A and B are shown apart, each in its own frame.
Chain A
Amino acid sequence: MPGVNMIVCCKQVPDPEAPPVVFKVDPATNKMTLPPEVKPVIGQYDEFAMEAALRIKDKAGGKITILSLGNKLARDVVKKTLAVGGDELILLEDETFEEGDSWSTAHALAMAIKKTGEYDLIFCGRQSSDWDAGQVGLGIAEILGIPAVPLARRVEAVDGKVRVERVIPDGYEIVEVGFPALITVTSELGSLRYAALKGIMAAAKKQPIVWKPSDIGLEPSQVGAAGRRTKLAKLFQPVKEAKGEIIEGETPAEAGTNLAIRLREAKII
């Protein structure tokens, strides 16, 4: 076997673990504003997807092409995928790609995947770490007409097939599917490995390929905000009232005892 030809879709997002207080919606523009100290990162589940592809490459060999769609993508962020062992980075980068929905994003990614030519496996995260939609992976599979296995926690390629342990509500199932197929990855697969110094140096020298809508056969009216099927009517933050009551004690143990007493007082237990 000449190795497995893989594509991983990675989205650049604002750090989803930034403290909740820094997330502020600007009602005038209907947009999320974040202070500069919140750095862009690769979506968490996309990192897990990258790790899934790397594990296959470790064992079976092959090539990993990373696709990332957006505008003004931070090179040091997206290049992390090369530093950990990706082979090629393609950026769908243009201002017309901005503010797409799952529909326009999946459409553009699918067209880009077609343009790359041959592929055996496509990996996506189970959901993006900003809009939390969980649609793009399955959407790409539908557009390309290939089978999809969502929520993989373990992936192994054997003889032109892929064996996936996929999470189901009370356990997991083992699913087998032939190439080509799309797999979405969940967190139990395991964290993305650290980049080795060699990888970081190699990545620094590599330049990503940049494609505009016309490069993938799309009009600007078909991508990003213009190509959306869902319209954002409003973005807002429901007001939360602080309600906390801290229970004290001389020692942590005493605070624990006092907590029980307080709960009884409040008739909660």
Chain B
Amino acid sequence: MAEYKGVIVYGELINGKLLSITTELLGGGRNLATALKEDLSCVLLADTVGETPKEAIAFGTDKVYIVEDPSLKEYQADTYIQVVEKLAKEISPRIILMGQTSIGRDLAPRLAFRLGTGLSTDCVDLSIDSETKLLLQTKPVYGGNAQAIFTCESMPQIATVRPKTMSPIERDNSRKGEVIPIKVEIDMSTIRTKVIEKVKEEVAGIKLEDAPTIVSGGRGIGGPEPFKTTLKELADVLHGAVGASRPPVDNGWIPEAMHVGLTGKIVAPDIYIAIAISGASQHIAGCSGSKTIIAINKDPEANIFKEANFGVVGRYEEVVPAFTKKLKELLAE
């Protein structure tokens, strides 16, 4: 049997920079590697990786495996899985970490099934059991109404990690590490899906993940218009972004990019204002990391009031304009 050793992070990059989920994974992975007294490494797949290997080292990795190939310019499941499967078999890590991102959600299950091992998705905490040395994988279940700790005795142990649940280590550009280029022959004949077109649904203004304040609307908003007027005005006053629960997205009132929750984006702004959102666990999963949650809902029994730091009971059509007006005055002082 091969010996499984070390922790490996599947890194994601865009425009020559590591995504924040990757530095978070490196931070979390570092702790696991230290507990195991083994190495932390990172794999980077792209047409060109640019300066990202250096960045990965500065954020704590010991080794960076890079695979550069023109066919890796954009994520394509059938190409990427080949490379990742080959790397996993060659490196035989004890633990593989990926982000619970669009790519991680797609790649991790495929990889786990190919390798014949278990996987826990959407983990919010990872640690090493000091006795068994197994990875303890904590993940929310039942929409966030409980958490489960899983272990997996088959190797490698694979987990995807929810964004914003782990902290990167302080960047240190003087850290030393090894960069290992790997050549993988990509068999284009295994590519069975063809992307005909990519359509961007532009969202004007600040990106949801980066916004310090998010004003989210739910089904109770009633239609697309108030997202552009009432909610947008409030968001503008606070230099924030507009978001939503799932129903407004499903109803086509606003684009998917604004969807917050378990199956949408995970956000952790300073202020999260939930308007006409009932506060289902699956929605709260996406915003519970916010510093302050404010709820506006006409139903005093709505679950959102259990999650909120501040709440107002009332129809949003009446509450929000007055709230926005007063905020404007206060902020102008």
Contacts and interface: CB of A to CB of B under 8 A. Distances in A.
A235 to B, nearest CB: 5
B91 interface: no
Contacts, number: 251
Q: Which of A137, A262, A269 has the most CB of B within 10 A?
A: A269
A269 B102 contact: no
Interface in B285-333: 292, 294-296, 303, 305-315, 318-327, 329-331
A171 B147 CA distance: 31
A111 B149 CA distance: 28
A259 B323 contact: yes
B192 interface: yes
Contacts of B311: 244-247
A233 to B, nearest CB: 4
Contacts of A131: 141-142, 148
A249 B110 CA distance: 54
Contact of B113 (A106, A260, A268): A106
Contacts of A23: 142, 145-146
Interface stretch (A55-63, A139-147, A199-207, A215-223): A139-147
B12 to A, nearest CB: 11
A232 B149 contact: yes
The majority secondary structure among interface residues of chain A is mixed
B321 A253 contact: yes
B271 interface: yes
A40 interface: no
Nearest to B141: A131
Interface string A152-190: 000000000001000111111111111001000011101
B250 A16 contact: no
Given A171-B201, A172-B199, A235 B147 contact: yes
A135 B199 contact: no
A3 to B, nearest CB: 23
Interface string A218-252: 00000000001111111111101011111101011
Contacts of A139: 109, 112-113
Nearest to A141: B110
Interface in B79-106: 101-102, 105-106
A99 B171 CA distance: 43
Interface string B244-272: 00100110100111000011000000110
B201 A252 contact: no
B280 to A, nearest CB: 6
Contacts of A181: 192-193
B78 A133 contact: no
Contacts of A242: 306
Contacts of B41: none
B147 A252 contact: no
B133 interface: no
Residue of A14, A127, A188 with most chain B CB atoms under a 10 A cut-off? A188
Interface of A: 14, 16-17, 19-20, 23, 25, 32, 101-103, 106, 126-127, 129-135, 137-139, 141-143, 147-150, 163, 167-178, 181, 186-188, 190-191, 228-238, 240, 242-247, 249, 251-257, 259-264, 268-269
Given A134-B109, A172-B256, A236-B146, 14 more contacts: A16-B142, A132-B143, A142-B109, A170-B257, A171-B256, A175-B195, A188-B256, A232-B150, A235-B149, A246-B312, A256-B319, A256-B323, A260-B323, A260-B327
6 A-B pairs closest in CB distance: A252-B314, A229-B118, A256-B322, A260-B326, A256-B323, A142-B113
29 contacts: A20-B145, A25-B146, A130-B142, A134-B122, A135-B112, A138-B113, A148-B77, A149-B193, A150-B105, A169-B257, A172-B256, A173-B198, A176-B193, A231-B152, A231-B153, A234-B148, A245-B310, A252-B322, A253-B322, A254-B322, A255-B313, A255-B314, A256-B319, A256-B323, A257-B325, A260-B327, A261-B326, A261-B330, A268-B271
